[in-house]
Amino acid sequence: MIDSAAPLGATSEVGPLRTVLLHRPGPELRRLTPRNNDQLLFDGVPWVARAQEEHDAFAQALTDRGVEVLHLATLLAEVLAFPAARAELIGAAVDDPRLGATLQRDATRHLAGLAPEDLASALIAGVAHEELRGHGLAYQLMDRSDFVVPPLPNLLFTRDSSVWIGDEVAVTSLAMPARHRESTITAAIYTHHPRFAGAEQLYASSLEHLEGGDVLLLAPGVVAVGVGERTTPGGAERLARRLFARGLAHTVLVVPIAQERATMHLDTIATMVDVDAMVMYPAVADSLVAWTVRATDGSPTHPADDTDTTDLAVTGPQPFLTAAAAAMGIDQLRVIDTGLDPVTAEREQWDDGNNTLALAPRLTVAYERNTVTNAALEAAGIEVVRIAGSELGSGRGGPRCMSCPVSRAPL
């Protein structure tokens, strides 16, 4: 049974999932063309109707297992009934030096005249040149297929723009220009929606780059942060300081990963599937290392402390699996490989075979296409809920990328 009054927050990747935030793909995916899909971070132009069918089946699979599904577009429309939220998000949408003062005023006027549901759609799907009656030089010289407000097709991947750690939420700082506005939308929802009244925000989009796909809650008090293409060492350091100051973690493992498209986040190469087990891309299992970060002895804790003055003790590097087991207080972290054949492993890693969403210990959601990885998981005692992802995967993200756990039961 869904418990909408369940406490907010999460302390692990595998605690029973109670509430999750998803975004059903919509008109923003129809904005993708062969001309702009690279800029908008998609590897192809998805069949939108099929992507929606796949996402609906994903959401239904969660609902069938007692998970409350919150839809981002619905929450956004609800907060846009509040004047402060409208002003914030319209301001962010037109804060673009391409537009110039005249077109900014025209776009602001256009957006301000929309009803909440229509404004939510415009903020997500964008506003094309031909959809706006504008004036001024910037508007006249803009190609009719260009966007005054660019679309946000990557909003599908709700994991990246926020992550709950303990009972606080980190609204993240997304690295790629095509995604910057996603965090402003997420922040507005957490700030203004009654469902999240009183929730403390641990991080902000104005800080160093930090993305939710790089943050793994290995165990209560133990957080791993990948640094690479999207998350910077400075972002990991600031997050660690805030976690320690607020008493939300005792250990942060900082894990360098290759700065490549195929390994854009830590969760593209490893995700937790049990309290002591993770599925991992075998090509990196032996080479992945971690620096262990803790607060120095005597560092005070201050709830909601954003002064970022906590002194840090950094040791390492050590093999990641060794450092993780030590921080988690277990003898060994079990590893399930995504195929021992290098070609198969590489193919399934590219198709998000490692990007699983745990619904509970030993119960995970995975793309059906990764047959070798799923068989390995089941052989290791992990139940796999298979979902289709042929079109959803064109943005390079799996079930974990497409979901932000808002509430998990403690282990």
Query: If you average pLDDT over residues 350-358, what whole number do you get?
Result: 75
Which stretch of 122-136, 225-239, 308-322, 345-359 has the lowest confidence by average pLDDT?
A: 345-359
Judged by average pLDDT, the poorest of 43-57, 233-247, 367-381 is 43-57
Quote the percentage of the chain above a pLDDT of 90. 65
DSSP secondary structure letter of residue 274: E
Does residue 68 form part of some domain? no
Q: CA nearest 48: which of 78, 28, 68?
A: 28
Q: Name the residues annotated as catalytic.
A: 401
For residue 141, being part of any structural domain is answered with no
- Report the pLDDT value the prediction gives residue 285, as an integer from 0 to 100: 77
- Lowest average pLDDT, out of 134-138, 234-238, 403-407, goes to 134-138
pLDDT at residue number 286: 81
Q: Tens of pLDDT along 27-73?
A: 888 887 766 665 665 666 778 889 899 999 999 999 999 999 999 99
Report, as an integer, the average pLDDT of 384-409: 87
On the question of pLDDT at 349 being above 80, the answer is: no
Number of Cβ within 10 Å of residue 228's Cβ equals 22
pLDDT score recorded for residue 302: 62
Of the candidates 65, 66, 58, 62, the residue with the CA atom closest to the CA atom of residue 25: 58
Q: Which residues constitute the domain of residue 163?
A: 154-408
Using CA atoms, how far apart are residues 48 and 80, in angstroms rounded to an integer?
26
Mean pLDDT, range 371-379, rounded to an integer: 90
Burial class of residue 408, CB neighbours in 10 A (0-12, 13-18, 19+): buried
> 7 lies in a domain?
no
CA distance 4 to 156: 23
Residue with tokens 């002895």: 297
pLDDT tier for residue 386 given thresholds of 50, 70 and 90 = very high
Higher pLDDT, 283 or 7: 7
| 256-269 mean pLDDT | 75
Residue 269: per-residue pLDDT: 87
Which residue, chain included where needed, has tokens 């964008």? 126
Structure-model confidence comparison of residues 154 and 145, the more confident one: 154
pLDDT at position 157 over 50: yes
For residue 65, give both structure tokens. 């297992």
396 within domain boundaries: yes
**Cα–Cα dist 91/111, whole Å:** 10
What is the structure's pLDDT at 2? Answer: 41
- Tell me: the pLDDT tens digits for 94-127? 999 999 999 999 999 999 999 999 999 999 999 9
Q: What total of structural domains would you count in the chain?
A: 1
Q: Which residue has the higher pLDDT, 345 or 370?
A: 370
Mean pLDDT of 288-301: 84
- 21 in a structural domain: no
340 domain residue, yes or no: yes
- Would you state the pLDDT for residue 275? 96
Query: Which of 90-94, 145-149, 395-399 shows the lowest mean pLDDT across its residues?
Result: 395-399
- Residue-level pLDDT at 371: 85
Query: Dihedral sign, CA of 384, 365, 51, 1?
Result: positive
pLDDT at 305: 61
Give the C-alpha distances (Å, rounded to integers) separating 107 from 103, 121, 129, 214, 222.
Answer: 6, 15, 10, 35, 45
Residue 260 — pLDDT band, cuts 50, 70, 90?
Answer: low
Entry pTM: 0.91
Least confident of 29-38, 135-144, 288-297: 29-38
Question: Is residue 281, in this structure, part of any structural domain at all?
Answer: yes
In a domain, 55, yes or no: no
pLDDT attached to residue 208: 95
Q: Domain holding 313: CATH number?
A: 3.75.10.10
